Structure 1
Amino acid sequence: MAEAATLAAAFDDEVSRGLKALPRRGDAPLSHEHELARWRHCQKLADSVSHYASRLPPSAAVPRILKLGRELRARREPRCALSACYRTVLRLVPQPTADCHDSQACMAARRRVEAIFGAAACGLAVTTGRDPKLLAGASVDRVVDALDRFREGVELAAQWEELYWLVNNGAVHMRAAAGLLVATGFAQRALPFLVFASLALDSNPTFGNAAYLPRRLAACKDVCECCARMGAREEAARFVERFWKKVDELEELYKLDPLPPPKELVESCRNTRAGLAVLRLKYGAEVARNSADLRSLLETHIPADDSRIEALVEAFLERGEGEASRGPIPAEKGPAFDMLWSLAQPLVSKISEALTARTEEEALEGTRGRN
């Protein structure tokens, strides 16, 4: 025990000195001499990790190596973090067995998932650093490989209820990486990962809390926008209805509690309903085509007129790009446009009256000034 403590202290000291000596990356590219010095310092850190990883027990080495990996990523050194830290942790921490769910297995799963996420994030950073617009086919494949690693980590973390936060982190990573594919025209390859990230947030009861409903709604929006880019609006509508039922189930579950649900949860459910109502309006052709259903949807879940206008305008935006669809209004969106105009017309009239009054006041002030 004393020997392990001595080795751990020596490792901490060596890593601290190595990080202080490591040149920081700036926005401007480093000169050849600085780049060479940086590479040598990274190599020294990698040698230190390799040296102490073989001598320290995993319970002492792995947390320190993961911490070093996070610090290297913060310094924009993904290559060093990947080779020196995360691959070492994956070698030290074996894959937990499915039938073992004690505290040690949970901790091993946590460490392994953190290493998987770190390795995937480093690989993604290296790829986007070389090719930020994913112009090369190999770059797209590497992003997909990183998404596969994130999915592997989420699947492992989902086996332990107490590791819900890692499931959430993995879903965030997947949505960000898949967003790169969607933005560069590879929506079809991104869709399975976006769907997985959204469904992963159904895997744990903790995600029924008020704090996670906005994140689940955002994940649902990502899936719908990706489907819309592929022309699969019906699939987007079905996904919205699925999440709507999930919110129904959540509210029914809280009704079983003799105590009233927290105000935060009630407010979060209401806001989630409003967001889903917008998605229903945008992707649900049947709702947008039927005037009675449309009015009922808006009056029930979006009570304020200004919010209704915002929701109706959102229905005419395509692909989440913030640009309204051009050309004539589609027939199925006729009732939505009529309702938008009925809500907006009083505001337009008020704006027109205010502008007219302001113009008259300015003209009167100008006349007085000349007199």
Structure 2
Amino acid sequence: MGIDLGLDRVAEVGRRMGLLDTPPARRVITVAGTNGKGSTVAMLESLARAHGLSTASYTSPHLLRYNERLRLNGVEASDAMLIAGFEAVEAARLDGDPVSLSYFEVGTLGALWAIAGIQPDLAILEVGLGGRLDAVNIIDADVAVVTTIARDHSAYLGDDLDGIGREKAGIFRAGSPAVLGSRDLPGSVRETATARGTPVLAIGEDFQWHETGPSQWCWHGCGLPADNVSLDDLPDPGLPLDNAATALQALALADVILDAAACRLAFADVRLPGRMQWLGQWCLDVGHNPHAAAYLAGRLQAMPCTGRTWILLGMLGDKDAEGVIGALSTVADAWGTVTLGGARARTAEELARHVSGSGAAVAFQATSPEAGAEWLSSWLSPEDRVLVCGSFFTVGAILAWMQA
């Protein structure tokens, strides 16, 4: 079945699997938000492992292989582990009155079964859609994180930012801290925290970061108990520093005593495919809404380029193409649009009309991301750069094309 928001069905199967009897890990951090979830999870995992903790992380979607979604102690889950999880879900689903589950719910339950099987020190769970009714929310978080809130998935979450904020804040639990990783969250997030008795630590108030030199920064936050903690000479992870600071604060609230040397190692080593990922002249980023596009534009503006900046854009039909194109227009010298297939397909021709409507010219239209990359690779000069963005599907296709 497709997306069917609600926890009753997935919670019932989780109960049959014994997943609701005991926590799947010693500590659980759940991460919700519109943008920045993936980078926050990646930095949390890197930080925890640098501190000697055993870890499990569950994210979505994937770029090339489903295995990317579940990492156990820093390693992608094997096919055998995933299959065993799916079989455990299917057995529980049919044990009694059959329960229908969505693709994401089956994957989430299978991942939680695998995580519970190794009982790591820390499980990091990324919300797939919303928060309150997302499948990962059957597990109580010891620390909840909200990164950013913007308009996305409007067909399911609507366009009202306060309403979206309440959905994201649905992962909060009474007495367990929530870390707010954006300075621009709707008031409904704190209102939900107050109503639920959730203590809040917010960026810019309870924890903060500052640049201290080229590619270096420092962090100030709170540990447990409420001691002030400072870390200096941290390397730039190449990911948003708001999210890096948020990861540090969340880990400090998960009973981890932050060690400066371990944190430096973690930020120097963290890698996240498809997020400001440079492969030669090509920068790949899965950003697909105006908020993410504005961040990308800001990063590129801070990186001088003597040649042209090409935008290779492929987007799904339910995304805000005009908003994304408007945000990227400040750095774009040339545009190429590509067609994405599937139920939510959007053609290169339709995207090109949006680009032309913004006053820019489209250099080419292609029937697929791979075809666009083939065309573009023959026209690039050594001084040019390419930003590939607009969708996980666009970036995943180009990654596969480059590997091939």
Query: Does the pair score TM above 0.5?
Result: no
TM-score by length of 1: 0.27
More helix by share: 1
Based on CA coordinates, which of the two structures has the bigger radius of gyration? 1
More strand by share: 2
